[in-house]
Structure 1
Amino acid sequence: MAARINNFLLQNLQCPMCLNIYKEPTLLACSHTFCKGCIFRLFNSQQEIAKISCPVCRKTTAVPSRYVSNLPINTPIQTIVEDIKNQSQICTTCKNKSLAATYCQECNDFMCVDCYKTHAKWDKFSGHDVVKVDDIVSGKITTKHRRKCKTHRLEVEECFCVECKKYVCFRCGMMEHTKAGHNILEGMEHEDQQKEKIRELQNKVNVKKGKVDEYISFIEKQQQSFMSSRSN
């Protein structure tokens, strides 16, 4: 299931220029979509004063008032991207809010691709058990959460604090986090909730993918109609 979602991301939500998930997906007249930042850099590098040439099909798009921000946002794509970022597991190592690709069983951290590369280079992390998020969600791998609590050395971090977004031992959960009004879950309960969110996300993606396909079909028909009227 998670693999199918990732395939959908790569095939439909990946900017053809930077190859990352869309940021402010901006639509050109040819119906191709790119990150606004990518279009801005492309526009500044081209010779045309008020037009931009699509790097995929080479068709030109007029840039209103020569401001890339005046180009339309691809709203269906933007909505799907926001849903995915809101409901998917986010990297807990950096502040970029990128989608997590792996999970370190020893560090108890989810990592995006860039953080994983950094983690893999450090000698002190050598030997850590790093698993794919896909394998956790699919149930192929069950996370261990056997890291010892730094405060209570004999306790294992087997609970999860919803507000702090981290695993804690039972004593820390009861003595510190609960007193602060935090919601404490069993580790397995938290993981089950994350899996359910992924299932809900897939259903939303399937529905919105259908809407995106309809939108693209509509644009293509409009283009065909426009080209037909020009030829007449």
Structure 2
Amino acid sequence: MAKAREEFGGGASLEDELSCSICLCLYRNPVSLSCGHSFCKQCIQKAFSAQQQSKDPYSCPMCKLQLGPILELRKNFQLCSIVEAFLATTSKEEKSEGSAERKKEVVPCDFCLEQSQPAVKICLMCDAFLCQAHMNKHNAKASQQDHVLVEVGTGGAAVERRCLEHGRLLECYCQDEGQYICVLCSIAGCHKGHSIVTLKEAHDKELGELSEIVTWLQQRKSALATALEELQKSEDQIKTNTKTVTSQIQKLFEEMKTEMIQKEKKILSDIQSNEKKQLADITEAKKEMEQRRDESMQHLQSLQKMREQPDIFLFLKEFKLAMDRIASQNFSVSRMDVEVVQLDQARIDHCRHLMRDFMSNLDSLLQGTHSELTNQIKRNRHISKTRRNLVFCK
């Protein structure tokens, strides 16, 4: 509570300022005298009753200013709101500090004579606090059934229903300036000559506009729901089409990759087979050449050895036999034509040119599908935008 007082800027002195000088408690239903001093309504009425019994003229208990024979007690709405705001703040502080239950300020009924009952409603037309019993009697009268009743403790709401200039209840509505006004504002105030209607008439008119807006919003809601369903269908269709086309393109390229891989394997296999055959032929030729070389070496050694033969007869005999053996054998040198597989730069460039032509043709073939998908997306966007414009233009 101390924190709340500090927030209001005056500590304990603020509570003193908001206290009645008669009962020394916070104001309850404060009223103001013509001198400007304020008191609890019940307190000042008791003070005036005592002055009347002693046949003294009515005077302010504070400044002793004589008030005249006719008393005018004006409810101080602003002071009432300040007190209620102070009580609300202090009660919140007490609750945050561990108070189990906030105590509500009890306001007595203005019509109870002996034992005052707590008021449950405030009649803004009668400017009176009503307990449950007196509220039932109040509402039972046909002339008072249109009176405005608010909960006790809603001082701020009560102030809002009063004209700040005249203090009267706001019963009219100025259509020119769109403001709630009292009767005096429309007769002699700044709204004189304006288009004035009662709050009931303004209420009925606004209800008509409310019904039109509700109908319009319901139509918009239905149209938007239909547009959303169509957009969802378009979205689902695009996703389905994209999934189908993606699967077809992936399958097509998988087939092309498979064909390319098989073609690569076939070409490489042929190259390797040709290599094996040529290598086998070379191996066989090498064996024959090596055998002829070895035989020629043997004959060469034999002939060189004959030079050392001293016996002429044996020399001639051995030489003839050696010549016959040499004549019967093949010492010719055979050559092989090797088939060399090469890819020169011109052939490589030609293959690349063919590949680019193939990719260009493939792109041309698939361009129709891509264009169709792009045009479909544009059409769907245009249709959706047109539908939205039609919906909001209705």
Structure 1 and Structure 2 fold alike (TM over 0.5): no
Q: Looking at both structures, which has the greater relative contact order when contacts are Cα pairs under 8 Å and sequence separation is at least 6?
A: 1
Higher helix share: 2
Between Structure 1 and Structure 2, whose CA radius of gyration is higher?
2
TM-score, normalized by length of structure 1? 0.34
TM-score, normalized by length of structure 2? 0.21
Higher strand share: 1
